[in-house]
Amino acid sequence: MNISLSEHFNYKKLFRFTLPSILMMIFTSIYSMVDGIFVSNIVGETAFAAVNFIMPVTMILGAVGFMFGSGGSALVAKTLGEGDSDKANRIFSLIIYSTFVSGVVLAALGIALMRTVASALGAEGEMLENSVLYGRMIVGALPLFMLQMAFQSLFITAERPKLGLAVTIMSGVANMALDALFVAGFRWGIVGAAAATAVSQIVGGVIPFVYFLRKNGSLLRLGKTRLNWRVLGKTCSNGSSEFVSQGSMSLVNMLYNTQLIKYAGQGGVAAYGVMMYVNLVFLAIFIGYGVGVAPIIGYNYGAKNSTELRNIRHKSTLIIVVASVVMLAASELSAGVLAGIFVGKNPELYALTVRGFRIFSLSFLFAGINIFGSSFFTALNNGLISALISFLRTLVFQITAVLVLPLFLKTDGIFLSVVVAEFAACALTITFLIAKKRKYNY
């Protein structure tokens, strides 16, 4: 039975409503890891380092789709809460069409500039060639990947989170099956890994587009619309925090890779790549919850239901705090096993990865509050505060830390940088939540 955005949410309903989006994000992260597992164990360490080296570039471009989806979801949910479903569908259609057109333009730029960017970041020789090859193939599917990112948020606003999860599972299964076929079976190497990912992104973008284009039982449907720069501006403003978060994280990852090459060589890049794969899975729980709960917040904000806003904020805070503690314990206990999956054949690299991950995982204590706080203000259509949290958290604090700490702590300082940045951002997020309590009455 579907749960309506207008209902009162106890813990059971809140878990039921947000679980599909949490699983969707976890599954997306897990199947993203599959490329890494196949490449590291079958193709080799250099190819694995190349994939992780160029991945931040492709993720910056894909973050535009997440911006349209999260920002548009907040605006559509608010409009639905105000009772204007026709306007909500026009906004929804404009967002989807704009996402695809933006994807085509960015894909062309990405393919043309991939070698220049990879070279400027420090890739050389075989690592440069692998990075360019993998990056261009991934960016070729960018328009559909951006649609997939946008639909992940909008499925929830349409009160079809389970369908969103089903699409993500289909996309993930396609990726894993094709990785096994192309990389392990046909031995296509890095080309096979890129092709598997590209096909899975096409699946994830096309299926929801066809679903919403046809008559369906959800709150939303694709149809006629008109260009409205004010709506697009509000969408981008609302979703700017998610773009800043994803884009800044990718930029910072490039800086981390540069620092690791300097202090630990190519092995350091590989070790950090393992941490990023695992980090995506753990943070997917927080991101999925934020994406899942945002339409509820946006709807009640539009309906001026302050009682339910307070209820959601209180319950969400408790859920995030408990999950943070559990995640820290789980990551510390599983560090050795997770590192072994990727780099178990290299004892020196394995030891570096385990040590780094045990330092890095302390950030999970603070990251959840930061991610929820950013999503919370996005849902309240306050893109400025949401973007400020994300900008300082993922760019300013991390860049400062990763440039300064290694001067004193060498490689350990690089791994500790994210912990310091998340702690500083957590203090800022809590300050904003307290300061804006009376304005939004939550």
DSSP string computed for 323-369: HHHHHHHHHHHHHHHHHHHHHTT-HHHHHHHHHHHHHHGGGHHHHHH
Give pLDDT, residue 428.
96
CB of 161 within 8 A of CB of 14? no
Q: Could you read off the pLDDT tens digit of each residue along the chain, which spans 442 residues?
A: 577 888 899 999 999 989 988 988 888 777 667 777 788 788 877 787 788 788 878 888 888 998 898 888 889 988 998 889 999 999 999 999 999 999 999 999 999 999 999 898 777 888 899 999 999 999 999 999 999 989 988 998 898 888 888 998 899 899 989 999 999 899 998 999 999 999 999 999 999 999 999 998 889 999 999 999 999 998 988 787 667 667 777 777 777 777 777 777 666 777 777 787 778 888 889 999 998 899 999 899 988 999 999 999 999 999 999 999 999 999 898 888 878 887 777 788 888 888 888 998 999 999 999 999 999 998 898 888 988 898 888 788 988 998 899 888 888 888 899 899 999 999 999 999 999 998 888 8
With H, G, I as helix, E, B as strand and everything else as coil, classify residue 186.
Answer: coil
Burial of 265 (0-12, 13-18, 19+ CB in 10 A): exposed
For tokens 């310091």, name the residue.
Answer: 420
CB of 139 within 8 A of CB of 110? yes
Give the integer Cα–Cα distance in Å for 3 and 182.
41
Give pLDDT, residue 266.
66
How many alpha carbons fall within 13 Å on the CB side of residue 274?
33
Give pLDDT, residue 226.
93
H or E stretch covering 100 = helix 85-120
Q: How many other β-carbons are positioned within 10 Å of the β-carbon of residue 12?
A: 8
With H, G, I as helix, E, B as strand and everything else as coil, classify residue 160.
Answer: coil
Give pLDDT, residue 151.
94
> What are the CA-CA distances from residue 293 to residues 9, 229, 318, 387, 428 (Å)?
10, 27, 14, 18, 21
H or E stretch covering 390 = helix 383-391
Q: How many other β-carbons are positioned within 10 Å of the β-carbon of residue 41?
A: 16
Give which of 158, 189, 185 is closest to 89, Cα–Cα.
158
Q: Where are the domains of the chain?
A: 15-437
Burial of 229 (0-12, 13-18, 19+ CB in 10 A): exposed
Give pLDDT, residue 1.
55
Instruction: Please write the tens of the pLDDT for every residue from 36-75.
Output: 778 878 887 778 778 878 887 888 888 899 889 888 888 9
Give the integer Cα–Cα distance in Å for 187 and 42.
8
Residues 6 or more apart in contact with residue 166 via CB below 8 angstroms:
none
Give pLDDT, residue 183.
92
CB of 66 within 8 A of CB of 243? yes
Give which of 266, 268, 286, 264 is closest to 276, Cα–Cα.
268
CB of 309 within 8 A of CB of 297? yes
H or E stretch covering 44 = none
Give which of 213, 237, 216 is closest to 225, Cα–Cα.
213
Give pLDDT, residue 370.
95
CB of 189 within 8 A of CB of 328? no
